[in-house]
Structure 1
Amino acid sequence: MKTLTSLAFALATLALTGAAHAQQTLRVSAIPDEAPTELQRKFKPLGSYLEQKTGMKVEFVPVTDYAASVEGLINNKLDMVWFGGFTFVQAKIRSNGKVVPIVQREEDEKFRSVFVTTDKAINKLEDLKGKTFAFGSESSTSGHLMPRFFLLAAQVNPDTDMKRVAFSGAHDATVAAVSGGKVDAGALNISVWEKLLAQGKVDSKSVRVFYTTPGYYDYNWTVRADMDPSLRKKLTDAFLALNANDAQGKEILELQRATRFIPTRTENYEQIEKAARNAGLLK
């Protein structure tokens, strides 16, 4: 009996030790809206910073597609994810409200999408009728949902009015499709467009913006609702403390294309959910 009791105690201790060990690693991911190497490059300094602020090992876990980022968070395989507005709404619905957005970039209060083309005959959304077109990922807020929303508002139905619609999978891939002549035009988020211009990775004499959308709420960092409140606060405080006036903060903010991070809340994404339902993208 004593042996069995000792064995039970040992097993319980091992279980607790394993749980404690598991909690020492913060598993972080992001929707794959850019090339995997670019996502890793952007995250590395942020991961090191979060390790300093939380005392935990921070591991970046790449995912294959947008849906995998949602499933990873709600199935307890990820602890924090960089979502677009639409993927956050999907995660909220799939988890029955058991995810919480904690911060967003200041820029995400009025995020925008741009429509680009090489075709001189395309100068407004209505000119896309009969043309070939590329969105980003089907689950992308700025690469699909909101561009579709504004197209429909302009009386252009991509599914019936365009010659062909493709999904490139990522914002930079959309630009490549347009510049390479695979499609007549495409839509992507303004942040990636500006970065590609700054890096000289797009020929601005050939590819041009012909329409920029009004602003809408977009990206955020989201955690599971069952995360330890003290850890959630540490993460939130860490993001809010990032300051462009010190070297570490400047590097992180520039890589995240952020002026600063600000608190956010679920209610901010009601417009995104409404747009998704109106476009038939949420069942």
Structure 2
Amino acid sequence: MNDSASAPQIDHPLGTEPHVHLSRRRLLLAGAAALMGASARAQTGAPAVLRVTAIPDEAPTELARKFAPLGRYLESQLGLKVEWTPVTDYAAAVEALVNRKVDLAWFGGFTFVQASERSGGKVVPLVQREEDAKFRSVFITAADSGIKTLLDLKGRTFSFGSASSTSGHLMPRHFLLAAGIQPEADFKRLAFSGAHDATIAAVASGKVDAGALNISVWDKFVADKKVDPQQVKVFFTTPAYYDYNWSVHADMAAPLRDKLRQAFLSLDGSNPAQQEILSLQRATRFIPTAAENYQGIRAAAASAGLLK
């Protein structure tokens, strides 16, 4: 008699061998864990990927280069994948955050005000560089242009940066108006270069007689010897005003918002890796900010007829 013929048969659950059943069970558990994670993200508002953008006030390659170390730092602090999302212009940066196509945006003071208006106050500024509490614009011209004061600009060609730029348009326009200059009426020709570095190039090449831009970009170009201050000079520096910030949408969960704010505030210049981040951001450190800081920008935009 064949012993194997009389051996009892074991019925395995689901009609599978034990190791197959175990694999299926693991798959079911993994699927359940994934669903639970997705549910937790939905309940807390935490995204699977933190999408970040910035107003394109410099060349796209420069913005991406400046952001790369910061993105890696934020990943380590948040436990989230961080993804850089470039935009074509300032308006696109505003719309991206207002419509929650991105989670975090680097705005100028004016684009923050525009985003706040567009969202019905649902855009929240988290932090700014210490430098942004006392930001300035500079007016530049060729050293041999004969331009020494703002009034000397009458009858000359001039370039702002982007139409939505705080330091490259709004505040320079504000101080021109205060000096009695109406740009559209008093300039021989008025241009918008689109970015601070492009304004420097326009003045240096003689395309325009003068232009206005962000003081930190100017200082960086001088330090990097990308412009010769003996050939192109600053002839007027504006009084200080509040400018740039990192903003989020109010719908971002409070715990993630707080963690993100703390990540910026914790950047320490005594740490070499973090000093690189701060240097690329042209910051000594980040400090908290609030919507009230930008009331002066809002008022300047309204008086210049630029807030719609």
TM over 0.5: yes
Give matches, 1:123-162, under 5 Å: 123-162=148-187
Give, in whole Å, the separation in 2 of the partners of 1:177 and 1:169.
11
- State the AA in 1 paired with 2:272: A
- State the AA in 2 paired with 1:66: Y
- State the AA in 2 paired with 1:196: F
Q: CA RMSD in A?
A: 1.7
Deviations 1:119-151 (A, max 9, x none): 431000000000000000000000000000000
Deviation, 1:19, is 8.8
> Which structure 2 residue ranges, 5 or more long, are not aligned?
1-30
Question: Could you tell me which of 272, 275, 283 is aligned with 1:258?
Answer: 283
Give, in whole Å, the separation in 2 of the partners of 1:77 and 1:14.
23
- State the AA in 1 paired with 2:211: G
Give matches, 1:1-283, under 5 Å: 17=38, 20=41, 23-118=47-142, 119-283=144-308
Give, in whole Å, the separation in 1 of the partners of 2:215 and 2:114.
22
Deviation, 1:205, is 1.3
Deviation, 1:249, is 1.4
TM-score (norm 2): 0.86
Deviation, 1:158, is 0.5
Deviation, 1:15, is 11
Deviations 1:239-279 (A, max 9, x none): 00111101121001100000100000000000000000000
Partner secondary structure for residue 234 of structure 1: helix
Contact 2:145 2:209 in 1 (8 A): no
Deviation, 1:238, is 0.5
CA spacing shift, 1:38–1:66, aligned 2, 3 Å: same
Give, in whole Å, the separation in 1 of the partners of 2:69 and 2:180.
44
Choose 17-26 or 156-165, whichever is displaced more.
Answer: 17-26
Give, in whole Å, the separation in 2 of the partners of 1:209 and 1:233.
40
- State the AA in 2 paired with 1:84: G
Partner secondary structure for residue 258 of structure 1: coil
Give the corresponding residue for 2:27: none
Partner secondary structure for residue 72 of structure 2: helix
Give, in whole Å, the separation in 2 of the partners of 1:151 and 1:20.
49
Deviations 1:198-237 (A, max 9, x none): 1111121110000000000000000000101111011100
Give, in whole Å, the separation in 1 of the partners of 2:158 and 2:269.
38
Find runs of 4+ consecutive structure 1 residues off by over 4 angstroms: 13-16, 18-22
Partner secondary structure for residue 134 of structure 1: strand
Contact 2:140 2:234 in 1 (8 A): yes
Deviation, 1:76, is 1.0
Deviation, 1:17, is 3.7
